[in-house]
């Protein structure tokens, strides 16, 4: 049998204050991103902010500079350009209000056909979202997250103890905030695809945490005379190889997605890679220490 | 084979077989299968979402207030007609959300209230009464407008020709339209969004009309409207015809002074089709026919207005304003306006399917080109296969024979998930694929949890059979808890999420449920069978 680590015995909880500091910074980063989202500082996707975007695929290579000039000559301002030079793809984005719905694509096509008659292009995708829809999508996502959190809190509190519910929730939020924060710092677009990735990460992180808690509960039943810290450390060490193996397999899938999954899933898989790493860390260094912060005796009746 | 395994093996084989059968129609090879086979299996499978297939996703808001407005206007008009017919001298006006009736004759009011019980009197004084549409009635009109708009859109799309369109109501006043595989997206948007309110109105050719410029440039419209705002007679309005200078290709507008009163609308239209006018350089035009009532009305109107000009107006744009040469009987008319053949076809479609009861406001328009969709699928499938291969190899490397068992379970899992999604006729989107990835990850995790437990037990010196049994029992609740928490999340996301998030929730919850099944029944079965063949000395784990 191949073993990653033979009988590990690492004092994870002894390092909890370092972990708290590190996680504190990550979470603050995430909260900063949330503030950014609500104050308009974040690079919100069209789906949340409203506005229009068109992605075009040209036959031959084209310079962003030339396109920018073509638009500016036609008096179009406040647009963003992004390119995918390897595939001759250009993404043109426009914040809300500049055009009435349904007009934007036509305008873009007319201008580009006029300015670059030799370089033919096809429309890859267009997105136009009114401000009302953006607001609704934002609100819906928020409501879904809040209700899901409450549901998990109740279930974990019911299956374990209330403090475990808190631990699981905090650890999950920590992961989501951390990834969101990193994306925010990187100036990446915050859109529905990222939200889906964050939800997936939350799912993984939660599973990881529940597995650790499960072992703690089990060990508490047989070793109720030992201090909680010892039992927790023991439990985390016991499930360590499982934690690492599962994370490895998910990481393998995410890396495959990152390199081969195509442009649309690119940011999704990047978020997943970060999320798996952070989620693994938090199930070890965040979830249990949070439970430990709670004063009082931690007992589970023997089965 | 021992009898105690029989039922479990049968169950797993059956579910796998069913999954394959249900999934088959979703694959390409289904098309090349023999007909007798096709008949035996259900045709519908997994539908690809617009992001994978390419197509158009539109959300419209039906402007119900305008429908109420329109109803008020019509009511005011018919009230006036009614009072005129009964010989009252009365003035009926629509003012905001009120209808104001001014008449010195108190009996006029009685006639009104008898004939229009839906109106409620909100204010009255000497010779003047203000009527309102009650809130309940207004709501009914709005509700009707949404219902009717959805129906009209469905009609138009059917005639436009789209395979498997989805037209759904969302919330109180929104309509979601999904058109998979549509290539000419702009045309589809135009056809759906056109109100297509056809009106016939007389031109006012007296007085101020002579002062109006004949044509203007589009950007001069605002200036013109400001200049003449105070000058035009109360019952008139300025409308335009959009034209293009054939030599320079520049757009310009022809100016018309039109009497506000609508003589006739497209309500009584029975047919609209494209014809080609061979005299005028093969220019297409749309010929329309009215039903008997409409034909009679059209005859009366034309008879009463000979030598006057009648404007044909669609969505507040003048298309033409011919002089009425003689009384036109028979209920036919034509709309010409320098159309391209596609324009004329589209116009015929919207006229045939009737006008929208209220204007639509576009809230969302997402188009995915067919090439991007195809790229996404190819990339997704490729990444999926590479990712799965990596995981499969890793599991065999780390857990040896047991890893192989887990891999088989994993593959069964994917097959059953695809089968389950096919049975539900689910729509697979990119977020849906993300859900599948998460579910697959959890499937691997379930096996890892079990194997690690079994290893623990083996380390304690238990026999393989005992180690499998107790390792399995201990892992059970962990797997159960982690799956239930995920299921809770998925259920909530399904209930409260919109669009993409819902797609994620569907595949995730199905995946998690199937996971529990394959991990807790499938994998365990294999171990039980191995252990049943006498005491195994060493477990390859």
CB count in 10 Å sphere of residue A277: 16
* For residue A12, pLDDT beyond 80: yes
Dihedral-angle region of residue A62 (phi above 0 means left; psi in -120 to 50 means alpha; beta otherwise): beta
* Option in A168, A207, A260 nearest B379 (CB): A260
Q: Are residues A39 and A137 in the same domain?
A: yes
Count of CB atoms situated within 10 Å of the CB of B73: 13
Question: Which residues in chain A have Cβ-Cβ distances shorter than 8 Å to B484?
Answer: 155
* Residue B175: per-residue pLDDT: 93
* A170: number of Cβ within 10 Å: 20
In a domain, A303, yes or no: no
Is A61 contained in some domain? Answer: yes
Min distance A296 CA to chain B CA atoms (Å): 24
> To probe the interface with B, which of A199, A241, A276 has the most B CB atoms within 10 Å?
A199
Q: Could you report the per-residue pLDDT of A154-187, keeping only the tens digit for each? A: 888 888 888 898 999 999 999 999 999 999 999 8
> Looking at the complex, does the CB of residue B283 fall below 8 Å from at least one CB of chain A?
no
Measured between beta carbons, which residues in chain A are less than 8 angstroms from residue B372? 55, 57, 124-125, 264
The pair of three-digit structure tokens given for residue B442, joined into one six-digit string: 């959890």
What average pLDDT does range B207-219 have in this prediction?
Answer: 85
Q: How far is CA B53 from the centre of its chain?
A: 16
pLDDT of residue A105: 80
* Chain A partners within 8 Å of B495 (Cβ): 144, 147
Q: Which residues of B touch A151 (CB under 8 A)?
A: 488-489, 491-492
Residues 58-97 of A with CB under 8 A from B: none
pTM for the full model? 0.77
What is the rounded average pLDDT of the residues A123-148?
Answer: 81
Which pair of structure tokens corresponds to residue B465? 């059979």
What lies within 8 Å, CB to CB, of A190 at 6+ separation is A33, A37, A42, A43, A44, A45, A48, A180, A183, A184
Whether B394 has its CB under 8 Å from any CB of chain A: the answer is: yes
| Domain B143-367 in CATH 1.10.3720.10 | no
Higher pLDDT, A86 or A285: A285
Best of B428, B492, B507 to substitute, by most chain A Cβ atoms within 10 angstroms, is B492
Question: To probe the interface with B, which of A125, A158, A209, A283 has the most B CB atoms within 10 Å?
Answer: A125
Q: What is the DSSP letter of A190?
A: B
Q: Which of B334, B244, B346, B336 is nearest to B282 (CA)?
A: B336
Number of structural domains chain A divides into: 2
* Chain A 273-302, residues with CB within 8 Å of chain B CB atoms: none
Q: What is the CATH number of the domain that holds A187?
A: 1.20.1640.10
Is pLDDT at A95 greater than 50 in this prediction? yes
Residues of B (58-97) whose Cβ lies below 8 Å from A: 59, 61
* Centroid of chain to Cα B365: 10
pLDDT reading at A99 higher than 70: no
Instruction: Test B498 with A140 for CB contact under 8 angstroms.
Output: yes
Does A236 lie in the same domain as A156? Answer: yes
For B400-431, the pLDDT digits (tens) are 988 998 898 888 888 999 899 988 888 888 88
- Is the pLDDT assigned to residue B519 strictly greater than 90? no
Domain B65-137: CATH class, spelled out: alpha beta
Residue B271 confidence (pLDDT) above 80: yes
Choose the closest CB to A151 out of B434, B481, B492. B492
- Is the distance from CB of B98 to CB of B130 less than 8 angstroms? yes
Tell me the mean pLDDT in the region B70-86: 81
pLDDT band at A98; cut points 50, 70, 90: low
Residue B355 three-state SS:
coil
Q: Which of B188, B170, B178 is CA-nearest to residue B427?
A: B178
Q: Is B203 exposed, middle or buried (0-12, 13-18, 19+ CB in 10 A)?
A: buried
Would you call A207 and B485 a contact, using CB atoms and an 8 Å cutoff? yes
Kindly state whether B474 is in contact with chain A, defined as any CB-CB distance less than 8 angstroms: yes
Task: Give the pLDDT band of residue B534 (cuts 50, 70, 90).
Answer: low
Does the distance separating the beta carbons of A250 and B441 come in below 8 Å? yes
Q: Does A8 touch chain B (CB under 8 A)?
A: no
Distance from CA of B379 to the nearest CA of A (A): 5
Q: How confident is the model at residue B474 (pLDDT cuts 50, 70, 90)?
A: confident
Q: Token pair of A106, please? A: 């036509």
| A162 and A207 within one domain | yes
**Strand, helix or coil for residue B366:** strand
For residue A271, which of A182, A139, A157 has the smallest C-alpha distance?
A: A182
Tokens standing for residue B471: 């390792």
- The pLDDT-based confidence of B30 (bands split at 50, 70, 90) is low
Contact B189 A2 (CB under 8 A): no
For B383, the closest of A123, A202, A257 (CB atoms) is A257
Among A25-39, A255-269, A275-289, B396-410, whose mean pLDDT is lowest?
A: A255-269
Q: Is residue A195 part of a domain?
A: yes
A84 and A149 belong to one structural domain: no
Which among B385, B397, B522 is positioned nearest to B447, based on CA atoms? B522
Q: How many CB atoms lie within 10 A of CB B461?
A: 8
A210 contacts chain B (CB < 8 A) = yes
Measured at the CA of B278, the angle between CA B273 and CA B279, to 5 degrees, comes to 125
Bridge partner residues of B427 (DSSP): B47
pLDDT higher than threshold 80 for residue A280: yes
Q: Which alpha helices (DSSP H) does B424-462 contain, by range?
A: 430-459
Instruction: Name the band, by pLDDT with cuts 50, 70 and 90, for residue A300.
Output: low
Check whether residue A141 and residue A103 sit in a common domain.
Answer: no
Of A137, A207, A268, Cβ closest to residue B486: A207
Residue B111 predicted with pLDDT over 70: yes
B3-54+370-532 to CATH, choices 3.40.710.10, 3.40.50.300, 3.90.228.20, 1.20.1640.10: 1.20.1640.10
pLDDT of B311 above 80: yes
Q: Quick check: B288 and B351 in contact, CB under 8 A?
A: yes
**Mean confidence (pLDDT) of chain B:** 84
Task: Identify whether the C-beta of residue B404 lies closer than 8 Å to the C-beta of residue B498.
Answer: no
Task: Please check whether residues A145 and A275 belong to one and the same domain.
Answer: yes
Q: Is A56 on the interface with B (CB under 8 A)?
A: no
B113 membership: H or E segment, kind and range: helix B106-115
Which of A129, A146, A168 is the C-terminal boundary of a domain? A129
Residue A107 lies in a domain: yes
Q: Is A78 exposed, middle or buried (0-12, 13-18, 19+ CB in 10 A)?
A: exposed
ipTM of the complex as predicted = 0.83
Q: Which domain holds residue A76?
A: 51-129
CB-CB under 8 Å, A245 with B378:
no
Q: Which residues of A fall within a CB distance of 8 Å from B493?
A: 144, 148, 199
What pLDDT, on a 0 to 100 scale, did the predictor assign at position A25? 95
- Best of B61, B175, B372, B454 to mutate (most A CBs within 10 Å, chain A): B372
pLDDT confidence bin for B280, thresholds 50/70/90: low
Cα separation, A43 vs B81, whole angstroms: 59
Give the pLDDT band of residue A302 (cuts 50, 70, 90).
very low
Query: Number of A:B CB contacts under 8 A?
Result: 225
Domain end (from A129, A145, A171): A129
Say whether residue B489 is in contact with chain A using an 8 A CB cutoff. Answer: yes
Q: What's the CA gap between B275 and A227, in Å, rounded?
A: 91
- B498 and A137 in contact by Cβ < 8 A? yes
- Which of A105, A156, A268 minimises the CB distance to B186? A105
Select the more confidently predicted residue: A275 or B109.
A275
User: What is the rounded average pLDDT of the residues B124-135?
Assistant: 82
Cα–Cα distance for residue pair B461/B467, rounded to 1 Å: 9
Max mean pLDDT range (A82-86, B93-97, B241-245, B435-439): B241-245
| A186 and A274 part of one domain | yes
Give me the sign of the Cα torsion angle A219, A223, A224, A226: negative
| Residues A39 and A109 grouped into a single domain | no
**What is the C-alpha to C-alpha distance for residues B239 and B313, in angstroms, rounded to an integer?**
9
Mean pLDDT for chain A overall: 85
pLDDT at B250: 83
pLDDT of A297 > 70? The answer is no
Nearest-CA residue of chain B relative to A204?
B438
| pLDDT on residue B315 | 85
CA distance B175 to chain A (A): 13
Average pLDDT (B175-200) is 85
Collect all residues of chain B within an 8 Å Cβ-Cβ radius of residue A214. 477-478, 481-482
Shared domain check, A64 and A146: no
| Most confident option among A17-31, A282-296, B16-30, B487-501 | A17-31
Rounded-to-integer distance, Cα B175 and Cα B178, Å: 10
More confident residue, A300 or A183: A183
pLDDT grade for B177, boundaries at 50, 70 and 90: very high
Question: Does the structure show a pLDDT above 80 at B40?
Answer: no
Nearest CB to B497; choose among A140, A203, A206: A140
Share of chain A above pLDDT 90, in %: 24
Contact A151 B489 (CB under 8 A): yes
Q: Domain locations in chain B?
A: 3-54+370-532, 65-137, 143-367
Q: What sign for the dihedral angle of Cα B181, B187, B191, B194?
A: positive
Q: How far apart are CA A131 and CA A126, in angstroms?
A: 16
Asked if residue A168 and residue A240 are part of one domain, the reply reads: yes
* Contact status, residue A278 vs residue A175, Cβ threshold 8 Å: yes
pLDDT value, residue B31: 66
Instruction: Answer yes or no: is pLDDT of B449 > 60.
Output: yes
Compute CA distances B10 → B6, B88, B412, B530, whole Å: 6, 86, 14, 17
Are A93 and A195 in the same domain? no
Cβ proximity of B523 and A245 under 8 Å: no
Contact between B418 and B46 under an 8 Å Cβ cutoff? The reply is yes
Helices A162-185 and A266-285 cross at an angle (nearest 10°) of 140
Whether A249 and A172 share a structural domain: yes
The verdict on residue A28 lying in a domain is: yes
Residue B208 contacts A where some CB pair is shorter than 8 Å: no
Considering A111, A129, A147, which residue would you say is the last residue of a domain? A129
The pair of structure tokens assigned to B258 is 């039109």
What integer pLDDT is reported at residue B535 of this predicted model? 66
User: How many Cα atoms are found within 13 Å in the side-chain-facing hemisphere of B391?
Assistant: 35
């Amino acid at each position: 049998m191949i073993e990653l680590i033979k009988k590990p015995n690492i004092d994870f909880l002894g390092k909890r204050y370092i972990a708290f500091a590190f996680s504190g910074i990550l979470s603050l980063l995430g909260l900063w991103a949330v503030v950014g989202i609500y104050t308009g500082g974040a690079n919100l996707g069209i789906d949340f902010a409203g506005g229009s975007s068109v992605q075009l695929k040209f036959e031959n290579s084209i310079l962003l500079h030339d396109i920018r000039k073509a638009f500016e000559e036609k008096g179009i301002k406040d647009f963003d350009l992004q390119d995918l030079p390897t595939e001759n793809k250009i993404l043109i984005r426009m914040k809300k209000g500049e055009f009435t719905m349904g007009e934007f694509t036509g305008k873009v096509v007319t201008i580009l056909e006029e300015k670059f008659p030799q370089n033919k292009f096809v429309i890859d995708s267009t997105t136009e979202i009114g401000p009302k829809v953006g607001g609704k999508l934002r609100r819906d996502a928020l409501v879904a997250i809040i209700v899901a959190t409450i549901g998990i809190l109740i279930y974990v509190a019911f299956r374990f103890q209330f403090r475990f519910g808190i631990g699981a929730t905090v650890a999950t939020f920590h992961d989501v905030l951390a990834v969101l924060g990193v994306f925010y710092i990187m100036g990446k677009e915050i859109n529905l695809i990222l939200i889906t990735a964050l939800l997936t990460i939350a799912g993984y992180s939660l599973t990881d945490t529940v597995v650790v808690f499960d072992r703690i509960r089990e060990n508490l039943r047989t070793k109720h005379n030992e201090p909680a810290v010892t039992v927790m450390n023991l439990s985390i060490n016991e499930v360590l190889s499982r934690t690492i193996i599962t994370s490895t397999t998910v990481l393998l899938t995410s890396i495959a997605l990152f390199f081969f999954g195509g442009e649309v899933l690119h940011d999704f898989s990047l978020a997943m890679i970060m999320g798996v790493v952070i989620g693994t860390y938090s199930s070890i260094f965040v979830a249990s220490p949070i439970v430990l912060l709670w004063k009082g005796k931690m007992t589970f009746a023997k089965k | 084979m021992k009898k105690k395994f029989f039922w479990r093996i049968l169950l797993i084989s059956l579910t796998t077989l069913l999954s394959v059968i249900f999934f088959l129609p979703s694959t390409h090879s289904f098309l090349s299968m023999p007909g007798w086979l096709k008949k035996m299996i259900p045709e519908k499978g997994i539908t690809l979402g617009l992001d994978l297939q390419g197509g158009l996703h539109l959300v419209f808001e039906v402007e119900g207030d305008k429908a109420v407005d329109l109803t008020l206007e019509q009511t005011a008009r018919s009230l006036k007609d009614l009072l005129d017919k009964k010989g009252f001298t009365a003035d009926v006006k629509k003012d905001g959300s009120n209808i104001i009736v001014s008449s010195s004759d108190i009996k006029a009011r009685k006639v009104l209230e008898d004939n229009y019980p839906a109106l409620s009197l909100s204010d009255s004084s000497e010779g003047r009464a203000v009527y309102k549409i009650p809130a309940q009635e207004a709501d009914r009109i709005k509700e009707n407008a949404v219902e009717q708009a959805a129906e009209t859109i469905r009609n138009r799309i059917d005639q436009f020709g789209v395979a498997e369109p989805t037209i759904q109501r969302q919330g109180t006043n929104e309509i979601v339209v999904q058109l998979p595989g549509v290539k000419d997206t702009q045309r589809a948007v135009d056809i759906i969004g056109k109100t297509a309110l056809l009106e016939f109105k007389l031109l006012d050719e007296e007085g101020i009309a002579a002062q109006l410029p004949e044509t203007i440039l589009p950007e001069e419209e605002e200036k013109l409207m400001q200049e003449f705002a105070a000058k035009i007679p109360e019952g008139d309005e300025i409308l335009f015809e959009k034209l293009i200078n054939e030599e320079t290709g520049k757009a310009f507008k022809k100016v018309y002074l039109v009497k506000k009163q609508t003589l006739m609308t497209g309500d009584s239209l029975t047919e609209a089709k494209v014809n080609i006018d061979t005299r005028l350089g093969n220019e297409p035009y749309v010929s329309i026919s009215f039903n008997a009532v409409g034909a009679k009305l059209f005859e009366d109107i034309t008879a009463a207005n000979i030598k006057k000009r009648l404007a044909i107006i669609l969505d507040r744009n003048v298309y033409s304003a011919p002089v009425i040469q003689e009384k036109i009987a028979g209920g036919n008319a034509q709309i010409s306006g320098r159309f391209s053949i596609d324009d004329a076809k589209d116009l015929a479609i919207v006229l045939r399917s009737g006008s929208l009861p209220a204007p639509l406001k576009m809230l969302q328009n997402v188009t995915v080109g067919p090439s991007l969709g195809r790229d996404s699928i190819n990339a997704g499938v490729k990444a999926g296969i590479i990712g799965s291969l990596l995981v499969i190899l890793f599991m065999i490397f780390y857990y040896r024979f047991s890893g192989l068992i887990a891999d088989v379970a994993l593959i069964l899992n994917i097959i059953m998930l695809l089968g389950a999604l096919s049975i539900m006729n689910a729509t697979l989107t990119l977020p849906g694929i993300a859900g599948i990835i998460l579910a697959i990850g959890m499937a691997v995790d379930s096996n890892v949890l079990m194997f690690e437990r079994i290893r623990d037990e083996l380390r304690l010196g238990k026999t393989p059979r005992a180690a499998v049994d107790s390792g399995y029992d201990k892992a059970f609740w962990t797997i159960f808890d982690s799956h239930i928490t995920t299921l809770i999340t998925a259920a909530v996301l399904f209930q409260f999420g919109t669009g993409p998030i819902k797609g994620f929730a569907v595949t995730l919850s199905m995946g998690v449920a199937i996971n529990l099944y394959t991990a807790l029944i499938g994998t365990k079965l294999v171990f039980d069978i191995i252990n049943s063949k006498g005491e195994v000395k060493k477990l390859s784990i």
